Amino acid sequence: MNYLKYHPFIWLGQLGAKYFSLVWAGLARKKLRSALTLLSIVIAFLLFGLLQGVDSAFSRGVEGAHLDRLVVQGKVSMTDQLPLADRTQIASVPGVTSVTYASWFGGYYQDPKNSIFSFPVEASTYFELFPEIVLPSDQLEALVKTRTGAIIGRKLAEKYGWKVGDAIPVKSTIWTKQDGTSDWSFQVVGIFEVPGDSGQEQRLFFNNDYFDEARSLDKGMVGWYSVQIDDPAHAAAISSAIDLLFANSDHETKTVTEKEFQQSFLKQMGDINFIVSSIIGAVFFALLFLTGNTMMQSVRERIPEFAILKTLGYSDHTVLSLVVAEGLVLALTAAALGLAGSAAAFPLLQDVVGVPHLPPAVIGLGLFYAVLLALVTALLPGLRVARLNIVNALGGR
């Protein structure tokens, strides 16, 4: 006995194959209308894939934030500088295992649109706190020893063709040197990788000593402190203890988790998630009406055909399922095409987004929305044909 044929998926497949001609007949009845509806859904899902993909790429850094790291920043604004002298006091707080610091450099290469995420850091401690940055030990040593040395991410190196030994000119939108210029020069001494998050390989790190000596303002200050703690469960208590240290001082602090810090950092560029959600929401809202109206019109025109099906013995559930299946075929086909389009576009946007592939979660979410769209738009017309009175429908009433 062939038990395989009783497998639910095979049974569903056979059922689908059996009724597919009928479902297809409904869609093929007005080819132009179906094609235009399909196209509008394809475009909506193409947009969804691109925007949601970009949003996911931005969120990845936040999601990957370490729970055992805190960030100490200025209380009023994250752009407020903090004295380097605070470091010793922060390190003395119970539960703090190590402290390092960094600043926002605001660098770019040749043209302001070629921005580079660049940070002056204390090389000897910074990379101990951030083990996800993988750098050969000899290159780290070279960075510590070379005053104007810098290490760059693999993606950044590939983007500009930079290699170890190159001298690279970087301008800063924030920091001028004592000579009045904002032209900084670094020697590439290493190339690092961040396995699993190539978006982080667009960064540049260089020595804070060189930065602090050469800059014209804010000497002896840093942008923020990164703090390693012994237990993520102690994060709130340690944050309070650190902030208490500097309460009522000239440089009050606000200590947050790394995740909160990255979220507020992203919000400085605009609330990407809100913008993306708003655009996608508006698009899907319009799509809901467009597709719903098309489905309603299509079903209304075929009332006599559905009446015939019911006359032949098709149950209320079967005709309802046929209408929903039409919606599903239309929405899922269009969503698959739209998402495939955005997936194809993603490698081209890698330099902008920093992620080479459309995240699978976005594809899954897109297909879920497609199913939701089909159900919402097909359910009303489907229920209408399910409740159809055959005698009235055949009599044109």
Partner 1 sequence: MTKAISLTDVVKRYRRGRETVEVLHGLNLDIDEGEFVAIMGPSGSGKSTLLNLIGGLDRPDAGVVTVAEQRIDRMSGGELTRWRAGHVGFVFQFYNLMPALNAAANVELPLLLLPLSRAERRARVAAALKIVGLQDRARHKPSELSGGQQQRVAIARALVSDPPVLVCDEPTGDLDRQTANEILDLLRALSQRHGKTVVMVTHDQKAADVASRQLHVDKGQLTDMARAA
Q: Write out the two tokens for 1.
A: 């006995």
The answer to whether residue 391 forms part of the interface with partner 1 (CB under 8 A) is yes
364-368: long-range contacts, CB 8 A cutoff, minimum separation 24: 365/52, 366/45, 366/48, 366/49, 366/52, 366/335, 366/338, 366/339, 367/332, 367/335, 367/336, 367/339
The answer to whether residue 300 forms part of the interface with partner 1 (CB under 8 A) is no
**Secondary structure letter of residue 132 according to DSSP:** T
3-state secondary structure of 220: coil
Among 69, 171, 254, 310, binds partner 1 (CB under 8 A): 310
- Closer residue to partner 1 in complex, CB, 20/289: 20
Neighbouring CB atoms inside 10 A of 269's CB total 8
- Closer residue to partner 1 in complex, CB, 165/313: 313
Report the Cα 42 to chain-centroid distance in Å: 21
- Closer residue to partner 1 in complex, CB, 217/390: 390
Please report how close the Cβ of residue 49 comes to partner 1 at its closest, in angstroms.
31
Among 2, 4, 8, 18, binds partner 1 (CB under 8 A): 18
Please report how close the Cβ of residue 332 comes to partner 1 at its closest, in angstroms.
20
- Tokens 């960094």 correspond to 102
The answer to whether residue 304 forms part of the interface with partner 1 (CB under 8 A) is yes
Q: At what angle do helices 303-312 and 316-345 cross, to 10 degrees?
A: 130
- Closer residue to partner 1 in complex, CB, 21/77: 21
The answer to whether residue 193 forms part of the interface with partner 1 (CB under 8 A) is no
Among 19, 160, 210, 265, binds partner 1 (CB under 8 A): 19
- Tokens 């395989």 correspond to 4
Return the residues of window 22-41 that contact partner 1 according to CB under 8 A.
Answer: 22, 24-26, 28-29
| Element housing 191 (H / E) | strand 183-192
The answer to whether residue 309 forms part of the interface with partner 1 (CB under 8 A) is yes
Q: Write out the two tokens for 159.
A: 């983007």
Considering only CA atoms, which of 123, 121, 122, 118 is closest in space to residue 105? 118
- Give the interface segment with partner 1, choosing from 63-71, 184-192, 221-229, 303-311 (CB under 8 A): 303-311
- Give the interface segment with partner 1, choosing from 13-21, 178-186, 246-254, 280-288 (CB under 8 A): 13-21
C-alpha atoms less than 13 angstroms from C-alpha of 183 in its C-beta half-sphere: 6
The answer to whether residue 348 forms part of the interface with partner 1 (CB under 8 A) is no
The answer to whether residue 303 forms part of the interface with partner 1 (CB under 8 A) is no
- Closer residue to partner 1 in complex, CB, 319/370: 319
- Give the interface segment with partner 1, choosing from 14-22, 138-146, 163-171, 267-275 (CB under 8 A): 14-22
The answer to whether residue 313 forms part of the interface with partner 1 (CB under 8 A) is yes
Do residues 206 and 98 make contact, with C-beta atoms less than 8 angstroms apart?
no
- Read out DSSP for 153-183? EHHHHHHHT--TT-EEEEEESSPPBTTS--E
Considering only CA atoms, which of 371, 369, 349, 358 is closest in space to residue 283? 369
**# residues near partner 1 by CB under 8 A:** 25
Distance, CA of 118 to CA of 137 (rounded, Å): 21
Do residues 176 and 194 make contact, with C-beta atoms less than 8 angstroms apart?
no
Among 21, 77, 88, 248, binds partner 1 (CB under 8 A): 21
The answer to whether residue 16 forms part of the interface with partner 1 (CB under 8 A) is no
- Closer residue to partner 1 in complex, CB, 16/195: 16
- Closer residue to partner 1 in complex, CB, 317/357: 317
* Virtual torsion, Cα 57, 58, 64, 67, nearest 10 deg: -160
- Closer residue to partner 1 in complex, CB, 281/304: 304
The binding site for partner 1 (CB under 8 A) comprises 18-19, 21-22, 24-26, 28-29, 304-305, 308-316, 318, 390-391, 394-395
